Amino acid sequence: MTPKASEGSRELSVQKIKDGTVIDHISAGYALAVLQILGITGREGDILLVAMNMHSKRLDKKDLIKIEGRELTTEEINRIALVAPKATINIIRSFKVHHKQRIKIPDEIEGIVNCANPSCITNNERGITSSFTVTQRNPVTLRCTYCKQITSHNQIIDQLLGKS
Ligand SMILES: [Zn+2]
């Protein structure tokens, strides 16, 4: 496992994983929100590498996550679009990229975030899952199916990072 020649000395070397998922090109500062979306705490016991504010050719700076022992499902990958629409997903098997998967922002989102309207039925009745139509894709903006209130990208991020 020698580093590739293209990985210059300025690049931070990050340990390879055997089987799992690499999420690359996450906008800088959003890696923790991605982990929150995936429900990954780091206490699962599997190797989890999180690198933030790394140099990138495509973006000014980027975050990167490597998750050992877990191949993300298409649904999980699409959820990542809520906070990192430019991310790229590599499924790793036996240290090699088995396939790359594009993120496709779904038209509808169920759960994950709460409606921004405090008096929305989804925030007040038990057993009603939040439900949204995606009205804007980059950055993602959501409209509640029930009360039509818009939940902004910043509100989504604040919720996922536990600021609200
Ligand atoms: Zn609502």
136 or 15: which carries more pLDDT confidence? 136
Q: Classify residue 130 as exposed, middle or buried by CB count within 10 Å of its CB (0-12, 13-18, 19+).
A: buried
Centre of ligand 1 to C-alpha 146, Å, is 5
**pLDDT confidence tier of residue 134, bands split at 50, 70 and 90:** very high
d(CA 62, CA 64): 7
Q: Measured in angstroms, how far is the CA atom of residue 26 from the centroid of ligand 1?
A: 28
116 Cα to the center of ligand 1, angstroms: 7
51 within 8 A of 14, measured Cβ to Cβ: yes
Q: Which two tokens stand for residue 161?
A: 């990072």
Tokens matching residue 26 = 């996450």
Alpha-carbon gap, residue 89 to 99, rounded angstroms: 8
Query: Which ranges of 2-65 does DSSP label H, i.e. alpha helix?
Result: 31-38
What 8-state DSSP symbol labels residue 105?
-
Q: Measured between alpha carbons, how far is 129 from 8 in angstroms, rounded to an integer? A: 47
Name residue 148's amino acid: K
**How far, in Å, is the centroid of ligand 1 from the Cα of 158?**
17
Q: How remote is the CA of residue 147 from the centroid of ligand 1, in Å?
A: 4
Q: How far is the CA of 45 from the centre of ligand 1 (A)?
A: 37
Q: Using one digit for the tens of pLDDT, what is the confidence trace for 141-155?
A: 999 999 999 999 999
pTM for the model stands at 0.77
Q: How many CA atoms lie within 13 A of 149 on its CB side?
A: 15
Q: Model confidence over 77-130: pLDDT tens digits?
A: 888 888 888 899 999 999 999 999 888 888 999 988 999 999 999 999 999 999
3-class state of residue 143 by DSSP: strand
How far apart, in whole angstroms, are the C-alpha atoms of residue 3 and residue 14? 10
What are the structural domains of the chain?
20-101 (3.30.70.140), 108-160 (2.30.30.20)
The per-residue pLDDT for 164 is 57
Is it the case that residue 7 has pLDDT exceeding 80? no
Residue 136 CA, ligand 1 centroid: distance in Å:
17
Distance 142 CA to ligand 1 centre (A): 10
Percent of the chain scored above 70 by pLDDT? 90
